[in-house]
């Protein structure tokens, strides 16, 4: 068996890691806040059903996450905590939303 064949699995693993790093960098460089908010607003509209509009959502920067997106009425809202790659880190249903970044006593 040729010696280079022994290193083929290592080479494939390095190539796979490099492609994943490139992919994550591409996503981070091209993902905008507006696209992320629109995606979670559409998710909220699908989740809640009829009578809900996409513009019932607003977003703010988070302390430990990239964005905190709130959808719903001021009294009952869903809170989506999103990382820099657009992935959902945490979800709080109405009545259980956290007050991240607020006063702590």
Q: In which residue ranges of the chain is pLDDT below 50? A: 102-105
Task: Examine the domain organization and report whether 9 and 36 are in the same domain.
Answer: no
Task: Examine the domain organization and report whether 37 and 50 are in the same domain.
Answer: yes
Residue 17 domain boundaries: 1-30
Q: What is the pLDDT of residue 60?
A: 94
Contact 62, 68 (CB under 8 A): yes
**CA 55 → CA 22, 48, 104, distances in Å?**
33, 13, 30
Q: What is the pLDDT of residue 18?
A: 97
Task: Examine the domain organization and report whether 7 and 37 are in the same domain.
Answer: no
Task: Examine the domain organization and report whether 60 and 72 are in the same domain.
Answer: yes
Contact 46, 38 (CB under 8 A): no
Closest-CA residue to 60 (of 105, 101, 96)? 101
Q: Which residues of 44-66 are buried (b: 16+ CB within 10 A; e: fewer)?
A: bbeeeeeeeeeebbebeebeebb
Q: What is the pTM of this model?
A: 0.68
Number of domains the chain is built from:
2
């Amino acid at each position: 068996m040729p010696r280079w064949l022994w290193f083929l699995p290592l080479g494939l693993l390095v190539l796979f890691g490099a492609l994943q790093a490139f992919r994550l960098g591409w996503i981070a460089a091209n993902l905008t806040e507006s696209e992320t908010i629109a995606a979670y607003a559409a998710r909220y509209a699908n989740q809640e059903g009829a009578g809900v509009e996409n513009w019932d959502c607003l977003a703010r920067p988070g302390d430990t996450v990239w964005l905190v997106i709130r959808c719903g009425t001021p009294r009952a809202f869903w809170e989506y905590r999103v990382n820099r790659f657009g992935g959902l880190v945490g979800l709080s249903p109405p009545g259980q939303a956290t007050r991240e970044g607020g006063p702590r006593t």
